[in-house]
Amino acid sequence: MSVRRVVANVASCTGCGLCMIGCSAEHVAGFNARYSWVKVDSDLMGVPAGIRFTHGCDRAHSSQCVFLTEVPSCVALCEPRALRYLVDTEELAS
């Protein structure tokens, strides 16, 4: 069985929050970032300090995200590629 995982790099994150808005739409009947399973914690200025996965997100896209089939929606909406979806790579094994 292949190993699949969403990995986060906060250094690349711009804090736009589209990942959270997209993720929330997977879980509620609309949009509200507070229902997202991925959380970008930013300071008052808007500088992202950390990216967390909550609510039991398995970060493996196992039937949790429905909009796209190839990658989780948080990754699909991440323009700066701070979130990436890795499948069977050495990066995951290390």
Residues found near other proteins in the complex (CB under 8 A): 14-18, 21-22, 24-25, 28-35, 41, 44-48, 67-68, 73, 76-77, 79-80
User: Shortest distance, CB of residue 28 to other proteins, whole angstroms?
Assistant: 5
3-state secondary structure of 51: strand
Residue nearer to other proteins on the CB measure, 69 or 94: 69
Residue nearer to other proteins on the CB measure, 57 or 77: 77
**Measured CA distances, 49 to 25, 43, 44, 77, 94 (Å):** 24, 7, 11, 19, 24
Question: Per DSSP, what are the bridge partners of residue 53?
Answer: 38
User: Shortest distance, CB of residue 79 to other proteins, whole angstroms?
Assistant: 4
Residue nearer to other proteins on the CB measure, 57 or 74: 74
Amino acid at 23: C
User: Shortest distance, CB of residue 93 to other proteins, whole angstroms?
Assistant: 29
What is the phi/psi pair of residue 83, to 5°? Answer: -110, 130
